[in-house]
Amino acid sequence: MEDCVFCKIAEGRIPAKTVYEDESVLAFHDMAPKAPVHVLVIPKRHAENILAARALDDSSLAHLFRTVAEVAARLGLDKTGFRVISNCGADACQEVGHLHIHILGGKKLSPKID
Protein backbone atom coordinates (compact mmCIF):
# COMPACT_ATOMS: atom_id res chain seq x y z
CA MET A 1 0.00 0.00 0.00
CA GLU A 2 1.35 3.42 -0.95
CA ASP A 3 2.30 5.61 2.03
CA CYS A 4 2.58 2.63 4.40
CA VAL A 5 6.03 2.62 5.97
CA PHE A 6 6.00 -1.12 6.69
CA CYS A 7 4.93 -1.92 3.10
CA LYS A 8 7.92 0.15 1.99
CA ILE A 9 10.20 -1.82 4.31
CA ALA A 10 8.72 -5.10 3.01
CA GLU A 11 9.41 -3.92 -0.56
CA GLY A 12 12.97 -2.85 0.30
CA ARG A 13 12.21 0.81 -0.40
CA ILE A 14 13.11 1.80 3.19
CA PRO A 15 16.07 0.11 4.90
CA ALA A 16 15.59 -2.00 8.02
CA LYS A 17 17.77 -4.27 10.14
CA THR A 18 16.30 -7.57 9.04
CA VAL A 19 16.29 -10.52 11.44
CA TYR A 20 14.30 -12.97 9.31
CA GLU A 21 12.64 -12.94 5.91
CA ASP A 22 10.71 -15.33 3.73
CA GLU A 23 8.22 -14.84 0.92
CA SER A 24 5.35 -13.71 3.13
CA VAL A 25 6.81 -12.51 6.46
CA LEU A 26 9.54 -10.07 7.53
CA ALA A 27 11.09 -9.47 10.97
CA PHE A 28 13.26 -6.44 11.69
CA HIS A 29 14.60 -4.45 14.62
CA ASP A 30 12.40 -1.60 15.88
CA MET A 31 14.07 1.75 15.18
CA ALA A 32 13.19 3.03 18.68
CA PRO A 33 13.68 -0.04 20.87
CA LYS A 34 11.76 -0.20 24.18
CA ALA A 35 13.86 -3.15 25.43
CA PRO A 36 17.34 -4.56 24.71
CA VAL A 37 15.68 -6.78 22.12
CA HIS A 38 12.76 -5.21 20.25
CA VAL A 39 11.82 -6.80 16.96
CA LEU A 40 8.74 -6.35 14.78
CA VAL A 41 7.25 -9.22 12.78
CA ILE A 42 4.98 -8.26 9.87
CA PRO A 43 3.11 -9.98 7.07
CA LYS A 44 4.46 -8.52 3.82
CA ARG A 45 0.93 -8.23 2.48
CA HIS A 46 -0.78 -5.15 3.87
CA ALA A 47 -3.36 -5.60 6.63
CA GLU A 48 -4.32 -2.74 8.94
CA ASN A 49 -4.08 -4.51 12.29
CA ILE A 50 -5.10 -7.67 14.14
CA LEU A 51 -8.75 -7.02 13.30
CA ALA A 52 -7.83 -7.81 9.69
CA ALA A 53 -6.99 -11.32 10.89
CA ARG A 54 -10.66 -12.08 10.37
CA ALA A 55 -10.03 -11.78 6.62
CA LEU A 56 -6.71 -13.65 6.52
CA ASP A 57 -6.54 -17.35 5.81
CA ASP A 58 -5.59 -19.71 8.62
CA SER A 59 -2.29 -20.79 7.12
CA SER A 60 -1.08 -17.16 6.80
CA LEU A 61 -1.98 -16.46 10.40
CA ALA A 62 -0.36 -19.66 11.62
CA HIS A 63 2.79 -18.85 9.66
CA LEU A 64 2.92 -15.33 11.13
CA PHE A 65 2.72 -16.62 14.70
CA ARG A 66 5.06 -19.54 14.06
CA THR A 67 7.56 -16.99 12.74
CA VAL A 68 7.20 -14.96 15.95
CA ALA A 69 8.21 -18.06 17.92
CA GLU A 70 11.03 -18.91 15.51
CA VAL A 71 12.46 -15.38 15.60
CA ALA A 72 12.27 -15.24 19.40
CA ALA A 73 14.15 -18.54 19.59
CA ARG A 74 16.79 -17.37 17.09
CA LEU A 75 17.37 -14.33 19.29
CA GLY A 76 17.82 -16.56 22.33
CA LEU A 77 14.67 -15.32 24.02
CA ASP A 78 13.24 -18.84 24.35
CA LYS A 79 15.64 -19.33 27.25
CA THR A 80 14.74 -16.17 29.16
CA GLY A 81 11.20 -15.25 28.15
CA PHE A 82 9.80 -12.35 26.20
CA ARG A 83 6.63 -10.33 25.60
CA VAL A 84 4.49 -10.30 22.44
CA ILE A 85 2.27 -7.28 21.76
CA SER A 86 0.14 -6.18 18.82
CA ASN A 87 -1.35 -2.71 19.22
CA CYS A 88 -4.73 -2.27 17.56
CA GLY A 89 -6.33 1.12 16.99
CA ALA A 90 -6.49 4.41 18.85
CA ASP A 91 -6.78 3.26 22.48
CA ALA A 92 -3.75 1.04 22.02
CA CYS A 93 -1.83 3.97 20.44
CA GLN A 94 -1.19 2.04 17.22
CA GLU A 95 1.20 4.31 15.28
CA VAL A 96 1.76 2.29 12.12
CA GLY A 97 -1.34 1.01 10.33
CA HIS A 98 0.19 -2.24 9.12
CA LEU A 99 -0.28 -5.38 11.23
CA HIS A 100 2.84 -6.00 13.30
CA ILE A 101 3.78 -8.12 16.28
CA HIS A 102 6.27 -6.63 18.75
CA ILE A 103 8.74 -9.03 20.37
CA LEU A 104 10.27 -7.49 23.50
CA GLY A 105 12.90 -9.07 25.69
CA GLY A 106 16.51 -9.17 26.75
CA LYS A 107 15.77 -7.95 30.28
CA LYS A 108 13.24 -8.50 33.07
CA LEU A 109 10.25 -6.55 31.76
CA SER A 110 7.81 -4.59 33.87
CA PRO A 111 4.80 -6.63 35.01
CA LYS A 112 2.65 -3.69 33.88
CA ILE A 113 1.53 -3.67 30.27
CA ASP A 114 -0.65 -0.55 30.29
Contact flag: residue 88 with ligand AMP (CB under 6 A): no
- State how far the Cα of 94 lies from the Cα of 81, in Å rounded to an integer: 24
Strands (E), the chain: 18-21, 25-29, 37-43, 82-85, 101-105
β-pairing, 82-85 with 25-29?
unpaired
Residues in the chain, overall count:
114
- Whether 100 is catalytic: yes
33-59 burial, b at 16+ Cβ within 10 Å, e below that, comes to eebebbbbbbbbebbebbeebeebeee
Selected range binding ligand AMP among 18-26, 56-64, 67-75, 86-94, rule: CB under 6 A: 86-94
Contact flag: residue 30 with ligand AMP (CB under 6 A): yes
Q: Which of 44, 48, 94, 106 binds ligand AMP (CB under 6 A)?
A: 94
Q: For residues 34-63, which are near ligand AMP according to CB under 6 A? A: 40
**Nearer CB in complex with ligand AMP: 60/94:** 94
Q: Which of 3, 32, 36, 110 binds ligand AMP (CB under 6 A)?
A: 32
Instruction: Give least dist CB 27 to ligand AMP, A.
Output: 11
What is the set of active-site residues? 100
